[in-house]
A and B are shown apart, each in its own frame.
Chain A
Amino acid sequence: LAKTTQPISMDSYEGQEVNITCSHNNIATNDYITWYQQFPSQGPRFIIQGYKTKVTNEVASLFIPADRKSSTLSLPRVSLSDTAVYYCLVMNRDDKIIFGKGTRLHILP
């Protein structure tokens, strides 16, 4: 069973803000939500993690509503180099680590 649901792909333009939403209806009380980024021919790279409300770092922001059944990764003013696959990851009650299928983000000039 899939633990997270994300859009398969998204297109955007340079300079725009991009928001990618992940659904995780079965998230457990103590689970954290983590997002990874993967460029072609590389392993995934951690970009942000949160539990509730909003988290911001130098790369992105993560918005988590009160019910925590979804989360939104926000990338401000994207560039061509942000073209990658973005994965939403949560830990379920059995401590299994399950990546979503990921969202292929394509930034256009």
Chain B
Amino acid sequence: DAGVIQSPRHEVTEMGQEVTLRCKPISGHDYLFWYRQTMMRGLELLIYFNNNVPIDDSGMPEDRFSAKMPNASFSTLKIQPSEPRDSAVYFCASSLVLRSYEQYFGPGTRLTVT
């Protein structure tokens, strides 16, 4: 298995633009997580899905952020409109189960909003 795949690896955009981050989880994993990492706040859980259904989105910072999982092999995290404070590394992770779990992280997308 290729592991969790994220694209793009780097994204530079201007304030106000729409940004879409993509993730392909490991095949067979029922859980998918989106995280954001910054120096100030560390690694924050934004949202997670179970069997393509959003379970907990309380970490999503505001309405400008949205996430979807249309099928078991694909998820997107969208920011519209983007702001400079959204600059961070965004990680996607997947796992087989939730409680007794090992999360497998993708390489991340480094987002810079100017």
Is B truly associated with A? yes
**Alpha-carbon gap, A99 to B46, bound state (A):** 12
| Consensus secondary structure, chain A interface | loop
**Alpha-carbon gap, A95 to B45, bound state (A):** 12
Q: Which residue of chain B has the shortest Cβ distance to A31 in the bound complex?
A: B99
Q: Which of A44-52, A61-69, A73-81 contacts B (4 or more CB under 8 A)?
A: A44-52
Indicate if the CB atoms of A102 and B42 lie closer than 8 Å: yes
Chain A residues with Cβ under 8 A from B49's Cβ? none
Given A32-B99, A49-B102, A96-B56, 7 other A-B contacts at CB below 8 A?
A43-B106, A44-B103, A49-B100, A97-B33, A99-B35, A99-B42, A99-B45
Some 26 contacts from A to B, beta carbons below 8 A apart, are: A31-B99, A32-B99, A34-B102, A41-B107, A41-B108, A42-B105, A42-B107, A43-B105, A43-B107, A43-B108, A44-B43, A44-B93, A44-B103, A46-B104, A49-B100, A49-B102, A91-B98, A95-B56, A96-B56, A96-B58, A97-B45, A98-B45, A99-B44, A100-B42, A101-B42, A102-B43
Chain A contacts to B: CB under 8 angstroms = 30-32, 34, 36, 41-46, 49, 87, 91, 95-102
